[in-house]
Amino acid sequence: MPIQSGSNRILQKMNRTYKIQPVIENLEILRAKIPHLSISTDIICGFPGETDSDFEETIDLIKWLKPEILNVSKFTPRPGTKAKSMKQLNSKIIKERSFKLSELFRTSLIDINKGWKGWEGEILLLHKGDQEHQAFGRNIAYKNVFIDDYRGNYGEFVKIKVDKVAGFNLFGRLI
């Protein structure tokens, strides 16, 4: 879901037809109905006219949203667009905002992943891991899952239990 900004003012400047509150309300409904809902979104840092206050609204949204995947883009004017003719932000400000948002996301994702410890469910095994006899797969929320001592086939679903969480990765065993 490419939200782009947490500021209604900036969304309007981007010619987006939606506002943040209905997005939040719909996501609350989805989260209530779908356990472990995995959310992916895109945010553009430094759109022309973005104030510190606008950016803080985006920070607040990401703190609430806690996406599993966040694509942070630094605004770059494209030829032939309306935004190209707008007053551009200083590239240093754009870089700082992008860094701050990325750091927030990394910290949030590590905390989110801790909640997966003890989870049992199916993963799709995709290929070998970095270690000998290690397999890499993804679960229902598109999480990285590694299984040690695996000697089976790939492209199959297997049932696992997550025993360890390290950063962005989950480590489990077959059950």
Between CA 75 and CA 69 the distance in angstroms is: 19
Average pLDDT taken over every residue of the chain: 95
The per-residue pLDDT for range 50-78, each reduced to its tens digit, is 999 999 999 999 999 999 889 999 999 99
| CATH 3.30.750.200 boundaries in the chain | 8-114
Is 128 a residue whose pLDDT tops 80?
Answer: yes
Predicted confidence at residue 94, as pLDDT, reads 97
Contact in structure between 158 and 125 (CB atoms under 8 Å): yes
Query: Could you tell me which CATH number the domain at 120-174 has?
Result: 2.40.50.140
Contact in structure between 133 and 106 (CB atoms under 8 Å): no
Between CA 72 and CA 43 the distance in angstroms is: 5
| CATH 2.40.50.140 boundaries in the chain | 120-174
The per-residue pLDDT for range 82-102, each reduced to its tens digit, is 999 999 999 999 999 999 999
Which fold is adopted by the domain 8-114?
Answer: Transcription Regulator spoIIAA (3.30.750)
